[in-house]
Copies of this chain bind each other. A is one copy, B any other.
Amino acid sequence: MKLIRDPVHGYIEVSDKFLQVISTPVFQRLRYVKQTGLAYMVYPGMNHTRFEHSLGVMYLAREFVKFIADNSKLDFVDEDYVELVALAGLLHDVGHMPFSHTFENALILAKHVYGMDVEEYGKKTHVRVGEKVVKDFLSHVIDKEFSKNMSDPVGFVIRVLEERPRTEEEKLANLVVSNFVDADRGDYLLRDSYYAGVTYGYFDVERLKRFLVYVDGKVAVISKAVPIVEQFLLARMYMFENVYFHSVVGLYNAIVSHAIVNLMEKGLRIPEDEKEFSVFMDDMVLSRLGDVDERLRNAVLFRKGFKRVKKDVTGKCLDLFSSRREEIYEKMREYKGLLIYHEFNDVPYYEEKDEALYVYDGGEVKKLTAISLIAKSLKEIRKAVIGYHETVEDKARELVQLLEECKTLGP
């Protein structure tokens, strides 16, 4: 057993089984994939990586499922099951590519703006890659360490990652790892806040985990803890508004995305081979920047040369811009990333059929919006940022003009 010091959760205990998984090159690789892409351009402390986030999710997944089991008297939860859930937590991001979601964005750009022939699954590409990593590169370790008491641990982990559970056990594991309130979000809100040096993402994790319950096949929060769930949803919304969707952060992530597309044009692909995949990391992109337009390179490395249009595109302006998206994208393509128009959007909370957070008061189970006015009032976050390299300022003028005309204060 090993103790790892984590600034967010204190000591994280890692048993030998888990250490075997963590010690593989494909997992160690996560030490070199920044959690939040180029957010360090604005928040200089945000150099943290998917490695420590993954350890944190392992830790929280274990905590969540233990308290849920205690509160719900579940037969199927034993130490082996808890370990499998923790393993799914540990591996949920093992498919993340350089700069995390930014690389996914590059794939989208490559396909939809630059018309390249690449495979992409939006914000789920890392899940598809992760599935391959688990199957092809990690299954021998997982089988060796975890199959003694459980049949098909690899299948379990993959189905949880893909959110396609087949059994009650997998369903609960899935909800613990990926849900509206889950171990993944729980960890990144606390962790990203810590490294940014902001308080937006803090929520009362010690209380939250003690008030989760599994009832009627749903993860629910006990009714007196509804305010914590609201706090959690709002924490996430504020992190989006202030950090992940910070206009400058977005601008630089967009710039590096275009640089990555440049590299794709020169042959960069997601490696199929284990050894190559092990060094598919931020550094690999940075070290190849000599091959891309020097203006993109200097922007990515030295925050140099680009200007951001101070006013963001929001509200009805955004509708206008979105309606002319194809035309704008054509410009972006033409100027190869020296002109940037980047849209952000995230829905803080929505309910669909079964997909919802539930509230339990010892008797009934209700959807969250039936209880919480705050949850009900949460609206999609939408905006776009415009930026350009100073050498193409004149090309951006038209967009700036368009924005000036439609802009007013307020949503």
Contacts and interface: CB of A to CB of B under 8 A. Distances in A.
Contact of A302 (B28, B234, B361): B28
Nearest to A25: B302
B373 A377 contact: yes
Interface size grouping (class) on chain A? 35 or more
Given A23-B302, A199-B203, A364-B408, 7 more contacts: A5-B43, A7-B194, A7-B195, A8-B197, A28-B303, A29-B301, A231-B238
A102 to B, nearest CB: 16
A287 interface: yes
A40 B31 contact: yes
Taking the full assembly, how many copies of this chain does it contain?
4
A159 to B, nearest CB: 28
Contacts of A217: none
A198 interface: yes
A272 to B, nearest CB: 18
Nearest to A231: B238
A147 interface: no
A242 B208 CA distance: 13
A210 interface: yes
A304 B52 CA distance: 18
Interface of A: 3-8, 10-11, 23-25, 28-29, 31-32, 40, 42-45, 47-49, 51-52, 55, 194-200, 202-204, 206-207, 210, 223, 227, 230-231, 234, 238, 241-242, 278-279, 282-284, 286-287, 298, 301-304, 359, 361, 363-364, 366, 370-371, 373-374, 376-377, 379, 408-411
B373 A411 contact: yes
24 contacts: A5-B42, A5-B45, A5-B198, A6-B44, A7-B197, A8-B197, A23-B302, A24-B302, A32-B286, A44-B55, A45-B195, A199-B202, A200-B204, A223-B409, A227-B238, A227-B241, A231-B234, A234-B234, A283-B287, A287-B287, A361-B409, A371-B410, A371-B411, A377-B377
